[in-house]
Amino acid sequence: MKIGDMMITGRHPPPGKLLKALSILSAHMHPLYDAAGFTVPGKSKESCVLVSATAREFFYRIGFKDADFRAVAVVIWAERDGIRQHSLGIGNPGPTPNHKADRWDGHAIVTVGGFLVDLTLWQGIRPQWPTLPPMMAVELEPPGGEKLWNRDVLAWRTGVDSGSGNEVAIGWLATPDRDEWRKAPDYVNKHERRKVADQLVALFGNWNPVDDPRPEG
């Protein structure tokens, strides 16, 4: 399912309330930051800490008490006829030598309602996978499943990229020990991003549970 720039994928569709929330994030998160005046236009598309912290607050305030800000490493690779064409990592599964004190070499997402939500994949688009969705909501893998580089795989997706014809895989690996984001200005400075969260909550409005198509249980 594609809503604007966001691809929503998994074994089960998200319930209606979550789908509405994802639709609002897809349509409004980045335009609201561009219009806010306290960031450079386009910054939100590359600032995973900023938008993940904002999304987590939005989800929590509209009733998703399980919403969680998570540190991850993203791995993407493309193959054709069994031959690796390209690979990419966003964030690092382990400590990085010569790490700069003012930069965090990780990646941030939100988990909510059984889905992983990544709002800043623009930075990962490459010629080998030109149609990578810039925002994704992917159903979480069951706990205790596959590991990669000794990290738990939170979510995984494979498919053929229509722009390149390559077989492409993308996975999100849990890095709970990479908590340098807690000191990042985009996380610490809550006042400005709360203005965007306020607007997202207002756009969500009142929710009527009878509109939820997923049966109880």
Q: Token pair for residue 32?
A: 């609201």
Entry pTM: 0.90
Instruction: Compute the distance between CA of residue 70 and CA of residue 10 in angstroms, rounded to an integer.
Output: 19
Using a pLDDT cut of 70, give the percent of the chain over it: 89
Q: 53 lies in which domain range?
A: 2-92+105-206
What stretches of 74-207 show up as alpha helix (H) in DSSP?
185-188, 190-204
Does residue 164 lie in a domain region?
A: yes
pLDDT at 216 over 80: no
- The residues near 62 (Cβ < 8 Å, ≥ 6 apart) are 17, 21, 201, 204, 207
pLDDT of residue 214: 41
Question: Given CA atoms 77, 80, 81, 85 in this order, what sign does their dihedral have?
Answer: negative
Task: Tell which wins on pLDDT, 160 or 100.
Answer: 160
Query: What mean pLDDT do residues 141-154 have?
Result: 87
Kindly state whether residue 199 falls inside one of the protein's structural domains: yes
Q: Tell me the three state secondary structure of residue 48.
A: helix
Q: Model confidence at 75, in pLDDT bands (50, 70, 90)?
A: very high
Instruction: Answer whether residue 214 is part of any domain.
Output: no
Predicted pLDDT at 101: 53
Q: Quick check: helix, strand or coil at residue 72?
A: strand
Stretch among 53-62, 77-86, 175-184 having the lowest mean pLDDT: 175-184
In a domain, 216, yes or no: no
Number of domains the chain contains: 1
Residue 144, phi then psi, degrees to nearest 5: 75, 20
Residue 33's pLDDT band, with cuts at 50, 70 and 90, is very high
pLDDT tens-digit map of 11-28: 999 999 999 999 999 999
Query: pLDDT for 40-61, tens place per residue?
Result: 999 999 999 999 999 999 999 9
pLDDT of residue 212 exceeding 70? no
The CATH number of the domain where 28 resides is what?
3.10.550
